[in-house]
Amino acid sequence: MSNTESLADARHQDSERRRAKVLAAIDRLATQGDDLSVSSVSRAAGVHRSLIYRHPDLHAAVTARASEPQVNSLTGPGASKQSLLTDIANLTDRVRRQDAHIRQLESRLAEALGEQVWQRAGLGGPPDHDALQKQVNHLEQHVTELQRQVADRDDDLDAARAANRQLMAKLNTSRE
């Protein structure tokens, strides 16, 4: 066996040994219920993360085991990391919606309590909307009538001015 062949064989054996360590670490972490990620597996196996990333089968093994629900003999099957993250996102969105609803209810409550205090304090309740609308309609009619009267008086004034001009013109022409 040549020197080159023995080096290639030693490298191959080292690679196989490290692969076996990674696979054993994946099994050990899954059995213990620990977090399964490339970083945690590489730490447990004593290898660099790049080894797992360079070998697609090792990387696939880590991600496949990490996506499996963890089974604990005391509590039963666990949830996958992805399902937990989805639950957190859904719960966060639900909390956000509930906060908005609570703010809306608090605002309505404050308005109702303020109205109640206003009425009980004797400062007067809110004016009757129908009565105010009737008063607005009456005042609008009155304004329209006054505008018509002003227009009539303007017409009378224009007529009086025209008559005055004619009379002044006659007086001026008769004197000449």
In tens, the pLDDT along 132-165 reads: 889 999 999 999 999 999 999 999 999 999 999 9
Tell me the range of 1-5, 104-108, 112-116, 126-130 where mean pLDDT is highest: 104-108
Looking at residue 166, its pLDDT comes to 92
43-52 burial: b if 16+ Cβ within 10 Å, else e: ebbebeeebb
pLDDT, mean of residues 84-94:
92
Residue 174 pLDDT greater than 90, yes or no: no
pLDDT band at 1 (very low <50, low <70, confident <90, very high): low
The domains of the chain are located at: 3-75, 79-126, 128-176
Give per-residue pLDDT as tens, 58-81: 889 888 888 776 655 555 566 667
| pLDDT number for residue 127 | 63
d(CA 176, CA 6): 145
The pLDDT tens digits for 128-139 are: 777 888 999 999
State the pLDDT at residue 84.
83
Angle of helix 56-67 relative to helix 3-32, nearest 10 degrees, comes to 10
